[in-house]
Structure 1
Amino acid sequence: MSASEFTKCMIAQGVKRLLRTTDFEDLSVGEIAKHCGISRNTFYYHFKDKYDVITWIFYTEITPIMGDSDRIDNWGEGLLALCRYMQENKDFYIKVLQVQGQNSFSECLMDFYANLVRNLLLNAKADQVLDPRQIRITSNFYAFGLTGVVSNWAKSGMKAQPEPVIRMLQDLLSGEIFDKILALEHEAKKDEQS
């Protein structure tokens, strides 16, 4: 690990420790620097601001945990790994998911899932049926939904086990839930006609 990576890790761990007792919005760069035993200049040499630390944590800790969840048949495994990791570190993730806006954890998660869904669609040859705008809208739709479900779960304290919700999301995203609803509707219409 390079000296720069070591310093970034130290700052990230410092932010995590500080968030045990302080809300993210109340946290200042000065407090982070003091807690880590570094100067503000050292902080700014490695990060633009405290939001940049959150982005760095996402891309260095979360992305590898979710692994190669870029296929239709395994994206749920990546989401489950994310939820389990968040549960293990819930004090931190409950707080950072409350932060909204540019460079927030929610935005990183949104971007990750928008890219993931876009890649899933392209791997499934959806570009033969959908134009680029439709792929972008579809990707954003699912990314908003997945991020919203994860955020709501976190805001409720991560008490519920994530597996049942992830199974339902897999059914929803595969179209299975809509297929069941349409089948029931079809049966109801047949019964009315009888």
Structure 2
Amino acid sequence: MAQQYTKKMIRQVFVQMLNKRPLNKITVKDIAEACEINRNTFYYYYTDVYVLLSEIFQTELQIVIDKYNETLSWEESFIVAAKFAVDNKTAVYHVYNSMQRETLVNYIYNVAGNVMIRFVENVSEGIPASEEDRKLIASFYQCALTEMVLRWIAAGMKEDPDTVIRRIGQLFAGNIEASLRHSAALHDS
């Protein structure tokens, strides 16, 4: 119980610091002092701040996975995923502008992939689309969503992601199902 509390405190303090200053300006010593623990305690849980950062993104990904269910649209699932970015804009921006950008990119890519794979599988129920085409369709939307989020971050995260994601959903409504039906038709001919 105490270990979980300590890890949670380390993560929270790190995110708070990341919301105030760039990643390269945060040291293990800073985190340990703010948490009122010694550095060895930090190192007991994490080898460095980059492993800590990676765990935070993995935890956020797991939240999206746990909250996803068949009643959620891909848009609602992606909005759940965007909550961390919205709540921690400065922290996300600091990671985006750091040498650890790839950690953020991988997180966004994994969230988009998880959401789209599940959504495509749900939509394909009863449509005899090939497995290969289902994966291709999910991958296409995964890449498109990832790039859109990265451009949103690069532009300073000014637009409301909820509004943008819902609008994309409205504009492309039915496209995934239509693509799956095209796949089925192509395999029948």
TM over 0.5: yes
Unaligned runs of 5+ in 2: 179-189
Per-residue CA deviations over 1:136-181 (Å, capped at 9, x if unaligned) read 44333322221222222233222222243212321354355xx9xx
Structure 2 residue aligned with 1:183: none
Displacement after TM superposition at 1:49 (Å) = 2.9
Match of 2:44 in 1: 45
> C-alpha distance in 1, partners of 2:136/2:26?
35
SS of 2:101's equivalent in the other structure is: coil
SS at match of 2:67: coil
2:147 aligns with 148
Question: Taking structure 1 as reference, are residues 72 and 82 closer, same or farther at Cα in structure 2, changes over 3 Å only?
Answer: same
Q: Does 1:27 align with 2:22?
A: no
Letter in 2 for 1:16: V
Larger Rg: 1
Provide the residue aligned with 1:100 in structure 2.
101
Alpha-carbon offset, residue 11 of structure 1: 0.8
How many percent of aligned residue pairs carry the same amino acid?
Answer: 27
Alignment of 1:1-194 (within 5 A): 2-61=1-60, 63-64=62-63, 68-71=67-70, 74-98=73-97, 99-101=100-102, 104-125=103-124, 128-132=128-132, 134-175=133-174
* Displacement of 1:85: 4.7
Aligned partner letter, 1:79 = F
Deviation readout 1:51-105 (Å, 9 max, x if unpaired): 332233234456536863444852212323443553333222222333422xx13
* AA partner of residue 138 (structure 2): S
Q: Distance in 2 between matches of 1:150 and 1:66?
A: 18
Q: How many residues align?
A: 173
CA contact (8 A) 2:96 2:104 kept: yes
Deviation at 1:4, TM superposition (A): 1.6
Classify 1:116/1:162 alpha carbon distance in 2 versus 1 (closer, same or farther; 3 Å).
closer
Query: What's the TM-score, normalizing by structure 2?
Result: 0.71
